[in-house]
């Protein structure tokens, strides 16, 4: 039988490492769900003045930070190297140079200790963040994976099996939030700022396009919305009118969330699942969480999402997915490469 973490309990202690983007993270996870430590060294301040992640700065900072973050994760967990069962590390998708640093650190540790090495798909990690906090959740699931780099609807008939139903044709959801925030001078990352501003705005004050809302597929397009927001702001400025940032944020957010909620509901109905998982940084979004839950509750579909700290990049989620891969007997060789375009 294939390993099913909701049926079988497997004992292990995993040190997990995540460096795919701009967080240097390490965590110790026991038995696939107990988070003994979860250290995240964010580089946000280093990238903020550029309005986005600068890959070269990210790699260099991971290199300077990763050893200390790993040591801190072990220390906070009260775990020594001989207590570990395996080392898990994100192998992709992500920035190649950034991924490489975590991978090399994990390989060096595995080589020195003789521990098995497990490679984890970053997106599977985001999905497994749900299982850290909802241990009873069993597939089939429909997962909406929305992060800075990805926007996908995924059908997960069983653990470890993924069918891509659709994805963005251009910008990712988080990328759209970040670009609009940058344009408005709100800082980086943009998602949390727009979420907060939108809470005081009227989502119907400015009507933005809902791209691909009725295309009867599960794809998304967000670049047109970005242009529509920018054009609106330029027009208002030219006309000498004051821009209500709260209404603008609320209108933009509603346009994103409307399409995502609509397509996720359709996907859940098509696949007849009773559980939908939200995953990735944009799963922090208040409106997305509330709207999706409200829409699906009437259809007897449960919507799960991780706590905000587990939605954004962290290594605990990599430990959870690593546990699953370990007990499937999927190991990484010491000559493995980072896979910047890895698919689920
Ligand atoms: O998953 P994540 O930490 O990194 C990637 O794997 O990309 O996601 C980061 C993204 C950023 O684009 C950020 O703006 C977005 O998640 N984000 C949000 C919110 N919190 C973070 N987007 C919308 N609303 C939020 N509350
Ligand atoms: Zn991520």
Lookup: tokens for 70: 């790993």
* Topology alike, domains 13-128+311-327 and 139-307: yes
Is the CB of 93 within 6 Å of ligand 1? no
Cα gap 306→177, rounded to integer Å: 20
Token pair 């375009």: residue: 341
pLDDT value of residue 6: 86
Is the CB of 313 within 6 Å of ligand 1? yes
What is the best residue among 41, 130, 147 to mutate for testing ligand 1's pocket, by most ligand atoms within 8 Å of CB?
A: 147
**177 Cα–ligand 1 center, Å:** 8
Q: Is the pLDDT of residue 170 over 90?
A: yes
pLDDT value of residue 1: 57
Residue 196 CA, closest ligand 1 atom number:
26
Is the CB of 282 within 6 Å of ligand 1? yes
Mean per-residue pLDDT over the chain, rounded? 96
Q: How far is CA 237 from CA 111, 177, 203, 205, 253, in A?
A: 60, 21, 20, 17, 21
Is the CB of 284 within 6 Å of ligand 1? yes
Q: What angle do CA 101, 147, 90 make, to 5 degrees?
A: 25
- Considering only CA atoms, which of 139, 150, 145 is closest in space to residue 127? 145
pTM greater than the 0.85 cutoff: yes
Percent of the chain residues topping a pLDDT of 90: 94
Nearest-CA residue for ligand 1 atom 3 is 312
Band (52; pLDDT cuts 50, 70, 90): confident
Q: What angle do CA 318, 319, 321 make, to 5 degrees?
A: 65
Annotated domain spans of the chain: 13-128+311-327, 139-307
Least confident span in 41-50, 159-168, 169-178, 192-201:
41-50
Nearest-CA residue for ligand 1 atom 7 is 148
What tens digit of pLDDT does each residue of 105-155 get? 999 999 999 999 999 999 999 999 999 999 999 999 999 999 999 999 999
The class (CATH top level) of 13-128+311-327 is: alpha beta
For 139-307, CATH number?
3.30.420.40
């Amino acid at each position: 039988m294939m390993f099913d973490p909701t049926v079988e309990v497997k004992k292990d202690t995993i040190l997990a490492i995540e460096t795919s983007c701009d967080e240097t993270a390490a965590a110790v996870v026991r038995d696939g769900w107990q988070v003994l430590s979860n250290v995240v060294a964010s580089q946000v301040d280093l990238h903020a003045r550029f309005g986005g992640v600068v890959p070269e700065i990210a790699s260099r900072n991971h290199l300077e930070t990763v050893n200390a973050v790993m040591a801190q994760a072990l220390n906070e967990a009260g775990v020594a190297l001989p207590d570990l069962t395996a080392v898990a590390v994100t192998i992709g998708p992500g920035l190649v140079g950034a991924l490489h640093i975590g991978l090399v650190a994990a390989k060096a540790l595995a080589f020195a200790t003789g521990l098995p090495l497990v490679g984890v798909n970053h997106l599977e990690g985001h999905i497994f963040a749900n299982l850290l906090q909802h241990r009873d959740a069993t597939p089939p699931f429909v997962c909406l994976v929305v992060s800075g780099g990805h926007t996908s609807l995924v059908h997960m008939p069983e653990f470890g099996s993924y069918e891509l139903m659709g994805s963005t044709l251009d910008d990712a959801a988080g990328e759209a939030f970040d670009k609009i925030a940058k344009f408005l001078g709100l800082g980086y990352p943009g998602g949390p700022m727009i979420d907060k501003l939108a809470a005081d705005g009227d989502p119907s004050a400015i009507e933005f396009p809902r791209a691909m809302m009725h295309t009867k597929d599960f794809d998304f397009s967000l670049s047109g919305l970005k242009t529509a927001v920018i054009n609106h702001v330029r027009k208002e400025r030219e006309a000498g009118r004051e821009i209500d940032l709260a209404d603008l944020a609320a209108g933009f957010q509603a346009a994103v969330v409307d399409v995502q909620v609509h397509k996720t509901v359709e996907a859940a109905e098509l696949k007849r699942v009773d559980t939908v998982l939200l995953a990735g940084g944009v799963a922090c979004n208040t409106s997305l969480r509330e709207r999706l839950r409200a829409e699906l509750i009437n259809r007897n579909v449960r919507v799960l999402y991780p706590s905000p700290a587990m939605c954004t990049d962290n290594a605990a989620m990599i430990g959870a997915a690593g546990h699953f891969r370990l007990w499937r007997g999927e190991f990484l060789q010491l000559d493995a490469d980072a896979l910047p375009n890895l698919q689920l």
